[in-house]
């Protein structure tokens, strides 16, 4: 099972998920504070920075790329609601989220 590490506000949360699990859903189920509003990628609230394991995530879709823009996409930002996990990954919730 893939291991997920979420760094948020100085805290580190670790948990395992089934392969193909959605990052936002799994974090929310475990009370890991990832801010969100819509859960569909339209609001852009659930931004996370992928620190490690980007190759273990699904590819960025058109909606996510549109919402984040080129600069954030290149810097490793993703929308947690659009992220599906296929291996170990480490993400950070930006302070501005």
- Mean pLDDT, range 5-31, rounded to an integer: 97
Q: What is the pLDDT of residue 97?
A: 47
How far apart CA 52 and CA 31 sit, in angstroms, is 22
Q: What is the pLDDT of residue 95?
A: 86
pLDDT digits (tens, 9 = 90+) for 30-48: 999 999 999 999 999 999 9
DSSP 3-state of 25: helix
- Mean pLDDT, range 51-69, rounded to an integer: 96
CATH number for the domain that contains residue 69? 3.10.20.30
- For 35-85, the DSSP string reads --SSSSSSS-TTEEEEEE-GGGBPPPPHHHHHHHHHHHHHTTEEEGGG-EE
- Tally of domains within the chain: 1
How far apart CA 59 and CA 31 sit, in angstroms, is 26
pLDDT exceeds 50 at position 81: yes
- Within 10 angstroms of residue 88's Cβ, the number of other Cβ atoms is 14
Instruction: Report the mean per-residue pLDDT for the chain.
Output: 95
pLDDT exceeds 70 at position 23: yes
Q: Residue 76 sits in which domain range?
A: 3-93
* Chain position carrying tokens 């490690």: 52
């Amino acid at each position: 099972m893939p291991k997920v590490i979420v760094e948020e506000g100085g805290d580190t949360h670790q948990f395992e998920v089934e392969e193909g699990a959605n990052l936002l859903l799994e974090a929310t189920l475990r009370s890991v504070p990832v801010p969100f509003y819509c859960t569909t990628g339209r609001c852009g609230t659930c931004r996370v920075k992928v620190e490690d394991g980007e190759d273990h995530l699904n590819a960025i879709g058109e909606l996510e790329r549109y919402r984040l823009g080129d600069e954030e996409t290149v810097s490793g930002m993703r929308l947690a609601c659009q992220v599906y996990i296929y291996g170990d990954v480490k993400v950070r919730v930006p302070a501005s989220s």
